[in-house]
Structure 1
Amino acid sequence: MPGSKSFLLLTVLFLIAAAMISFQIIRQAGIYQDGREAYTAALHFEKRLLDFNEWFDGDGWDRKQEQVDTVKAQLEQPRRWANYWMIGFGLAAVIYLLLSFRLPEIRFRTSAIIITALACLITGLLAPMLEIAAYQEDLSIPIKIKTGFLSLDLDYTQNFPGEMYFYYQSKSVLELIGLLFRQNNFVVGLSILVFSVLIPLIKNSLALASLSRQRLPQSGVLRWFLLRLGKWSMADVFVVAIFLGFLAFNNMQTGVQTESNILTGLYFFLAYALLAIWASVQIDDQLSASELRSESPVS
């Protein structure tokens, strides 16, 4: 009983700290995302190509550069604070796990791993995971016009200094799912929702309930969900796919410059995948051993 009270107190304190820190992480990541979208929108190729001042006003780019430089300078602070809060989350999680592992019962340790994994999962689902962009720096557009009328021969090159963005995207997992549904891409959106969100939440919730009762669920359906559902979770596969996409986009040969950056959400999603694997190994051993003890005849 004292162990249960200590674990409950540790868990409540960790969840309060995790909620506060996660809120700050998501808030700072959102500020960075909004600022980056405003920065790329100001330098979008359609906006720049249709800007009269950039074509005919020699100071047109200078005035715009001052504006975009101001926005770009403001991006560093929220990203830095998001990283600081992420380190704080990691420290809180390590302290929580270390203190939980000092408790006598093994189920408390496994429960602490699962609770930490769920905290990482929720933060990873809400925070942006990856940003990708395609742009051209110092774009030059040659304009050549030859006609017999008045012997007109125009050979002119229009220069657009600085960056000109053709594409930018940054989404969290939940934002990506919402975008897919809005685009009527229901199969992909539903697949990500089920295999990377719902299944991890259901499996870990059932595992916590089973560990608190120290035995497997009596229902055959719930038992199957607990012991077999993890194989259908694609959270780890999703993380690997994001990493491969990050590497592939960075090495694309498209004639324009490409950029991809890993953001806070992916680190939390990766942490969840690793913690979930660790917890699954312990859950299988503990629940199987508990089931054997409950089925063995009393001598």
Structure 2
Amino acid sequence: MTKDIISTLILSVVFISLTFFAFTSYKNAKVYEDTYKQYAQEQTISNSVEKNTKEMLNGFIGALLGQKPNSSKSETPSKKQELENLKEKPIEYITIYASIIALSLLSFFVVSKKVFLTYIHSVTLLSLFFGLISPIFMMYILLDYNFQNIVNIKDAILQFESLSLLESINKLISIQEKYFVGGIILLFSVIFPLIKTLLSFVNVFINHFSILNKSTKLLSALSKWSMTDVFVLSIFLVYLSSVNSGMSKIVTEIEVGFYFFFIYVVLSIVLSFFNRIKI
């Protein structure tokens, strides 16, 4: 009994640290998202045309005055470097998050099965939660066009979006009115994983044999659909994959929400394995 209390306290501290790293990764992902939105507003067509026109006029006037051309391109690279640094921070924290989870799986050999499964279920739900609310992908449409070989509109951003899985579902259903697609993603990426994990969690504390037997059969039936959430998410991301067309280019970036969801999927597989082990 004393061993279970100590194990519970240690794993509770580990869970709190995981919550900290998950939240920090999420917070940094939102900072990156907001900074990129601001950058996208600066890179509109009108601003790009104005900037390129000014550079052309300044170069022309400088040439008339006999001045050497002065390239003032330090602003964009520095901004892009800032964005790259902000992009790496969420990945660093989620890497620490995943590493702690991987190491904590070894606790299976030193703690009771009930304590271990309680911990793993809690971490699985935590990963699912942040997988749903964190930005899962970023999409922006770039314009690269040379207008009559005079004004070069390069990397002007026509459209920018960064959405979490829940925001994507809301957009599909509420704004685009794609009820079937939105409903399928909602069912297999939110409702189904949540029910499956909660049912498995409840099983840890059920002692009544007949109830446990029925619950286990239901969980076994749900487990046959265990990879559907991955399949649906994969189709969703492929649908938004990079496409090049003439003057414009659609670019998508995977963000931390995807990695949280991936960790959830791995943990749900781990749970199904450990649930079958009898100690």
Residue identity opposite 1:254 in structure 2: S
**Structure 2 match to 1:24:** 24
User: Is the aligned partner of 1:131 residue 2:138?
Assistant: yes
Gaps of 5+ in 2: 60-69
Residue identity opposite 1:41 in structure 2: Q
In structure 2, the CA distance between the partners of 1:119 and 1:215, relative to structure 1 (3 Å rule), is farther
Report the CA distance between 1:5 and its aligned residue: 1.9
Residue identity opposite 2:17 in structure 1: A
Contact 2:203/2:215 (<8 A) preserved: no
Q: Distance in 1 between matches of 2:58 and 2:79?
A: 17
Higher radius of gyration, 1 or 2: 1
Report the CA distance between 1:26 and its aligned residue: 0.8
**Structure 1 match to 2:270:** 278
In structure 2, the CA distance between the partners of 1:92 and 1:219, relative to structure 1 (3 Å rule), is closer
Gaps of 5+ in 1: 143-156, 291-299
Which sits farther off after the overlay, 54-63 or 81-90? 54-63
Q: Could you report, residue by residue, the CA deviation over 1:9-64 in whole angstroms, capped at 9, with x for unpaired residues?
A: 23321221122111111110001011112212222336545x5x654774699999
Q: Distance in 1 between matches of 2:270 and 2:208?
A: 19
Q: Could you report, residue by residue, the CA deviation over 1:254-299 in whole angstroms, capped at 9, with x for unpaired residues?
A: 223443322211112112112212322333x35xx79xxxxxxxxx
Secondary structure of 2:135's aligned partner:
coil
Q: Could you report, residue by residue, the CA deviation over 1:94-113 in whole angstroms, capped at 9, with x for unpaired residues?
A: 2322224322x444444443
**Structure 1 match to 2:252:** 260
Match for 2:190 among 187, 194, 197? 197
Match for 1:84 among 84, 92, 96? 92
**Structure 2 match to 1:42:** 42
Report the CA distance between 1:92 and its aligned residue: 2.3
**Structure 2 match to 1:236:** 230
User: Is the aligned partner of 1:168 residue 2:160?
Assistant: yes
TM-score normalised per structure 2? 0.78
Query: Could you say what the CA RMSD is over the residues aligned between the two structures, in angstroms?
Result: 3.4
Match for 1:141 among 147, 150, 173? 147
TM-score normalised per structure 1? 0.74
Which sits farther off after the overlay, 236-245 or 24-33? 236-245
In structure 2, the CA distance between the partners of 1:189 and 1:177, relative to structure 1 (3 Å rule), is same
Residue identity opposite 1:24 in structure 2: T
Q: Distance in 1 between matches of 2:214 and 2:107?
A: 34
User: Is the aligned partner of 1:13 residue 2:13?
Assistant: yes
Q: Distance in 2 between matches of 1:278 and 1:112?
A: 12
Q: Distance in 2 between matches of 1:198 and 1:64?
A: 52
Match for 2:261 among 249, 266, 269? 269
Residue identity opposite 1:204 in structure 2: T
Q: Distance in 2 between matches of 1:253 and 1:31?
A: 28
**Structure 2 match to 1:177:** 169
Residue identity opposite 1:77 in structure 2: N
Contact 2:120/2:267 (<8 A) preserved: yes
Residue identity opposite 2:172 in structure 1: L
Q: Distance in 1 between matches of 2:21 and 2:86?
A: 14
Match for 2:127 among 120, 128, 138? 120
Which sits farther off after the overlay, 87-96 or 214-223? 214-223
In structure 2, the CA distance between the partners of 1:229 and 1:63, relative to structure 1 (3 Å rule), is farther
Residue identity opposite 2:245 in structure 1: T
Residue correspondences, number: 266
Higher relative contact order (CA 8 A, sep 6+): 2
In structure 2, the CA distance between the partners of 1:164 and 1:238, relative to structure 1 (3 Å rule), is same
In structure 2, the CA distance between the partners of 1:217 and 1:119, relative to structure 1 (3 Å rule), is farther
In structure 2, the CA distance between the partners of 1:16 and 1:59, relative to structure 1 (3 Å rule), is farther
